[in-house]
Structure 1
Amino acid sequence: MTLKNNLLVELFVEELPPKALRKLGEAFAGVLRDQLVAQGLADAGSVLTAYASPRRLAAHLTQVGTQAPDRALSQKLMPVSVALDASGQPTPALLKKLAALGADASAVPGLRRAMDGKAEALFFESTAKGATLAEGLQKALAESIAKLPIPKVMSYQLESGCALPGWSSVSFVRPAHGLVALHGDTVVPVEALGLKAGRETHGHRFEALHDPIVLRDANSYAVQLDEEGAVIPGFEARRNEIARQLAEAALSVGAGAQPIQDDALLDEVTALVERPNVLVCQFEPQFLDVPQECLILTMKANQKYFPLLDAAGRLTHKFLVVSNIRPEDASAVIGGNERVVRPRLADAKFFFDQDRKKSLASRVEALGKVVYHNKLGTQGERVERVMRIAHAIGEQLGAATANLTLAPHAVQAAQLAKADLVTDMVGEFPELQGIMGRYYALHDGLPHDVADAVEDHYKPRFAGDALPRGPVGIVVALADKMETLVGMFGIGNLPTGDRDPFALRRHALGVIRMLIERHLPLDLRALIAQAHAAFGAPRAGDHPLSDATDALEAFFYDRLAGSLREQGASAQEVDAVLAPLPQRLADVPKLLAAVRAFAELPEAPALAAANKRIGNILKKSPEADAHVSALLLHEPAEKALHAAMQEIVPLADAQFDAGDYTASLQTLAALREPVDAFFDGVMVNAEQSDLRLNRLGLLMLLHRAMNRVAQLERLAT
Structure 2
Amino acid sequence: MTTKNLLVELFVEELPPKALKALGEAFSTTLADSLKASGLATAHSAVTAFASPRRLGAHISAVRSQADDKPVSQKLMPVGVALDAAGQPTPALLKKLGALGFDAGAVPQLKRQPDGKTEALFLDVVVKGATLADGLQKALDEALARLPIPKVMQYQLADGWTSVNFVRPAHGLVALHGADLVPVQALGLTSGRETRGHRFEAAIDPVMLLDADHYARQLLEQGAVIASFADRHAEISRQLRAAAAREGLTPIDDAALLDEVTALVERPNVLLCRFEEEFLAVPQECLILTMKANQKYFPLLDAAGKLTNRFLVVSNISPADPSRVIEGNERVVRPRLADAKFFFDQDRKKTLASRVEGLAKVVYHGKLGTQGERVERVRAIARAIGERLGGTALAADADTAARLAKADLLTDMVGEFPELQGIMGGYYARADGLGETVADAIEDHYKPRFAGDQLPRNDVGIAVALADKLETLVGLFGIGQLPTGDKDPFALRRHALGVVRMLVERQLALDIDALIDTAVKTFGPLVADPARTVGLVVDFMFDRLAVSLRDQGYGAQEIDAVLSRRSSRVHEVPRALAAVRAFAALPEAASLAAANKRVGNILNKSDAPPAAAADPARFVEPQERALFDALQAASAPSAAAFERGDYTASLQALAVLKAPVDAFFDGVMVNADDPALKANRLALLASLHAAMNRVADLSKLAA
* TM-score, length-scaled by structure 1: 0.94
- 1:548 aligned counterpart, secondary structure: helix
Query: Following TM superposition, by how much is the alpha carbon of 1:626 offset from its aligned partner in structure 2, in angstroms?
Result: 3.1
Find 1:664's aligned residue among 632, 635, 650.
650
- AA of the residue aligned to 1:130: G
Find 1:679's aligned residue among 649, 665, 676.
665
Bigger shift: 209-218 or 191-200? 209-218
Q: Does 2:684 align with 1:698?
A: yes
Counterpart position of 1:177: 171
1:414-563 → structure 2 map (5 Å cutoff): 414-538=402-526, 547-563=532-548
Provide the C-alpha distance between the structure 1 equivalents of 2:668 and 2:52, rounded to a whole number of angstroms.
79
- 1:405 aligned counterpart, secondary structure: helix
Answer yes or no: is the 8 Å Cα contact 1:4–1:64 preserved in 2. yes
Answer yes or no: is the 8 Å Cα contact 2:53–2:264 preserved in 1. yes
Deviations 1:164-211 (A, max 9, x none): xxx611111001111112222222221111111112211111112232
Answer yes or no: is the 8 Å Cα contact 1:181–1:197 preserved in 2. yes
Counterpart position of 1:634: 620
Deviations 1:269-298 (A, max 9, x none): 111111211111111100000011100000
Find 2:566's aligned residue among 581, 590, 593.
581
Provide the C-alpha distance between the structure 1 equivalents of 2:643 and 2:198, rounded to a whole number of angstroms.
73
Counterpart position of 1:8: 7
- 1:322 aligned counterpart, secondary structure: strand
Query: Following TM superposition, by how much is the alpha carbon of 1:114 offset from its aligned partner in structure 2, in angstroms?
Result: 4.0
- 2:226 aligned counterpart, secondary structure: coil
Query: Following TM superposition, by how much is the alpha carbon of 1:442 offset from its aligned partner in structure 2, in angstroms?
Result: 0.7
Query: Following TM superposition, by how much is the alpha carbon of 1:88 offset from its aligned partner in structure 2, in angstroms?
Result: 3.8
- 2:524 aligned counterpart, secondary structure: coil
Query: Following TM superposition, by how much is the alpha carbon of 1:460 offset from its aligned partner in structure 2, in angstroms?
Result: 0.9
Q: Does 2:697 align with 1:711?
A: yes
Counterpart position of 1:302: 294
Provide the C-alpha distance between the structure 2 equivalents of 1:546 and 1:672, rounded to a whole number of angstroms.
42
Counterpart position of 1:271: 263
Find 2:333's aligned residue among 325, 333, 341.
341
Counterpart position of 1:141: 140
Provide the C-alpha distance between the structure 2 equivalents of 1:669 and 1:87, rounded to a whole number of angstroms.
75
Deviations 1:95-139 (A, max 9, x none): 344334332321111123445567654321111122222212111
Provide the C-alpha distance between the structure 2 equivalents of 1:645 and 1:144, rounded to a whole number of angstroms.
66
- 1:89 aligned counterpart, secondary structure: coil
Find 1:614's aligned residue among 581, 599, 603.
599
1:238-249 → structure 2 map (5 Å cutoff): 238-249=232-243
Deviations 1:315-345 (A, max 9, x none): 1111111111111121111111111111000
Provide the C-alpha distance between the structure 2 equivalents of 1:6 and 1:197, rounded to a whole number of angstroms.
16
The alpha-carbon distance between structure 1 residues 605 and 189, as it changes in their structure 2 partners (threshold 3 A), is closer
Deviations 1:233-280 (A, max 9, x none): 11111111111221222123x22x111111111111111111211111
Answer yes or no: is the 8 Å Cα contact 2:611–2:679 preserved in 1. no
Provide the C-alpha distance between the structure 2 equivalents of 1:333 and 1:647, rounded to a whole number of angstroms.
83
Provide the C-alpha distance between the structure 2 equivalents of 1:294 and 1:658, rounded to a whole number of angstroms.
49
Provide the C-alpha distance between the structure 1 equivalents of 2:525 and 2:134, rounded to a whole number of angstroms.
70
Query: Following TM superposition, by how much is the alpha carbon of 1:551 offset from its aligned partner in structure 2, in angstroms?
Result: 1.8
Provide the C-alpha distance between the structure 1 equivalents of 2:372 and 2:142, rounded to a whole number of angstroms.
52
Bigger shift: 204-213 or 80-89? 80-89
- AA of the residue aligned to 2:427: Y
Provide the C-alpha distance between the structure 2 equivalents of 1:330 and 1:30, rounded to a whole number of angstroms.
39
Answer yes or no: is the 8 Å Cα contact 1:360–1:420 preserved in 2. yes
Counterpart position of 1:370: 362
Q: Does 2:273 align with 1:285?
A: no
The alpha-carbon distance between structure 1 residues 547 and 447, as it changes in their structure 2 partners (threshold 3 A), is farther
Counterpart position of 1:17: 16
- AA of the residue aligned to 2:586: L
Counterpart position of 1:234: 228
Bigger shift: 180-189 or 408-417? 180-189
Counterpart position of 2:25: 26
- 2:256 aligned counterpart, secondary structure: helix
The alpha-carbon distance between structure 1 residues 543 and 612, as it changes in their structure 2 partners (threshold 3 A), is closer
Deviations 1:48-96 (A, max 9, x none): 2211111111112222222222121111234556544555433455434
Counterpart position of 1:650: 636
Provide the C-alpha distance between the structure 2 equivalents of 1:704 and 1:387, rounded to a whole number of angstroms.
41
Query: Following TM superposition, by how much is the alpha carbon of 1:349 offset from its aligned partner in structure 2, in angstroms?
Result: 0.2
- 1:11 aligned counterpart, secondary structure: strand
Provide the C-alpha distance between the structure 1 equivalents of 2:153 and 2:441, rounded to a whole number of angstroms.
46
Query: Following TM superposition, by how much is the alpha carbon of 1:221 offset from its aligned partner in structure 2, in angstroms?
Result: 1.6
Bigger shift: 514-523 or 643-652? 643-652
- AA of the residue aligned to 1:233: A
- AA of the residue aligned to 1:139: K
Find 1:217's aligned residue among 211, 215, 220.
211
Counterpart position of 1:386: 378
Deviations 1:621-666 (A, max 9, x none): 1313233334433333223333333333233222212212122222
Provide the C-alpha distance between the structure 1 equivalents of 2:659 and 2:7, rounded to a whole number of angstroms.
73
Answer yes or no: is the 8 Å Cα contact 2:77–2:120 preserved in 1. yes
Unaligned runs of 5+ in 1: none
Q: Does 2:206 align with 1:186?
A: no
1:42-121 → structure 2 map (5 Å cutoff): 42-80=41-79, 83-85=82-84, 87-116=86-115, 121=120
Counterpart position of 2:202: 208
Provide the C-alpha distance between the structure 2 equivalents of 1:65 and 1:637, rounded to a whole number of angstroms.
75
Query: Following TM superposition, by how much is the alpha carbon of 1:543 offset from its aligned partner in structure 2, in angstroms?
Result: 7.3
Provide the C-alpha distance between the structure 2 equivalents of 1:321 and 1:447, rounded to a whole number of angstroms.
38
* TM-score, length-scaled by structure 2: 0.96
- 1:232 aligned counterpart, secondary structure: coil
Provide the C-alpha distance between the structure 2 equivalents of 1:546 and 1:590, rounded to a whole number of angstroms.
30
| Identical residues among aligned pairs (%) | 68
Deviations 1:383-433 (A, max 9, x none): 11111111111111114xxxx521111111111111111110000001111
Bigger shift: 101-110 or 187-196? 101-110
Provide the C-alpha distance between the structure 1 equivalents of 2:104 and 2:565, rounded to a whole number of angstroms.
70
- AA of the residue aligned to 2:23: L
Q: Does 2:147 align with 1:153?
A: no
